[in-house]
A and B are shown apart, each in its own frame.
Chain A
Amino acid sequence: DTAVSQTPKYLVTQMGNDKSIKCEQNLGHDTMYWYKQDSKKFLKIMFSYNNKELIINETVPNRFSPKSPDKAHLNLHINSLELGDSAVYFCASSSWGKGEKGTDTQYFGPGTRLTVL
């Protein structure tokens, strides 16, 4: 039983293309996240969604557009890919709930390795 799944696992594409990464969680969580891990393994939050609503956008270029069709899914669409977008992208989820302090841990997906040529 996969808790947080991402597709695809690997993505190789040319500069200027548009691509999407999908994420699904079956944990019943209300909050989902996208992170970017660069070549130095530094993990940085990009977006947080709670109940399909965008809560956090960490100064990510508007070429990146997350979409949450329902609480169990958070997809990431990237337009006009650049070399610097090459990284591993992780989706995560947790049970936070609006107005409550974070008490639950995050569960991470396996990651999507994006390579822009």
Chain B
Amino acid sequence: KQEVTQIPAALSVPEGENLVLNCSFTDSAIYNLQWFRQDPGKGLTSLLLIQSSQREQTSGRLNASLDKSSGRSTLYIAASQPGDSATYLCAATPGTYKYIFGTGTRLKVLA
């Protein structure tokens, strides 16, 4: 059974710092891994999707990597800004039509 965990659960950093969020999954047989952002009281917004055959994806200041063999993905945020404050969730796709979400990391970027 696929389990997805995220470390740390919460993170507070000063503006401008580069930071790394971690996502671990127990079963390496995944189709893809996605990173989402959730603002308070809102739905989820997709940030990056990495196919199982890919190693990383980049979008602006965000870079996500995937290491299936070790069951890990990281989300790197460069030059963090207060607007990056949100909860970040990763989701692994262990089978068709199924997404298993991680426990989330609550990020606060201080001005």
CA distance A44 to B3 in the complex (A): 11
Indicate which residue in A33, A55, A105 contacts B49 across the interface (CB closer than 8 Å).
A105
Tell whether, in the assembled complex, residue A107 and residue B51 are in contact, meaning their CB atoms are under 8 Å apart. no
CB of B32 within 8 A of CB of A102, answer yes
Q: Is A56 an interface residue (CB 8 A)?
A: yes
Instruction: Name A113's closest neighbour in chain B (CB-CB).
Output: B41
> Which residues of A lie under 8 Å from residue B32 when comparing CB positions?
101-103
Q: How many residues of A contact B (CB 8 A)?
A: 27
Please count the residue pairs between chain A and chain B whose beta carbons lie under 8 angstroms apart in the complex: 62
Residues on B with beta carbons closer than 8 Å to the beta carbon of A48: 97-98
**A105-B100 contact in complex given A41-B87, A43-B89, C-beta closer than 8 Å:** no
Whether A111 pairs with B31 at a CB distance below 8 angstroms is: no
**Chain B residue with the shortest CB-CB distance to A105:** B46
* Chain A binding surface, main DSSP class: strand
Check A31–B45 contact: CB distance below 8 A: no
Shortest B111–chain A CB gap in Å is: 24
Chain A proximity mask over B72-111: 1 for CB below 8 Å, otherwise 0: 0000000000000001010101001111110110000000
Indicate which residue in A45, A90, A103, A107 contacts B98 across the interface (CB closer than 8 Å): A45
A16-45, CB under 8 A of B: which get 1 and which 0? 000000000000000101010000011111
B89 cross-chain contacts in A, Cβ below 8 A:
43
Residue B24 lies at the interface, judged by CB distance under 8 Å to chain A: no
A105 to B90, CA, bound (A): 12
- 10 smallest A-B Cβ distances: which pairs? A108-B43, A48-B97, A105-B46, A43-B101, A108-B44, A55-B97, A102-B31, A110-B43, A101-B31, A105-B49
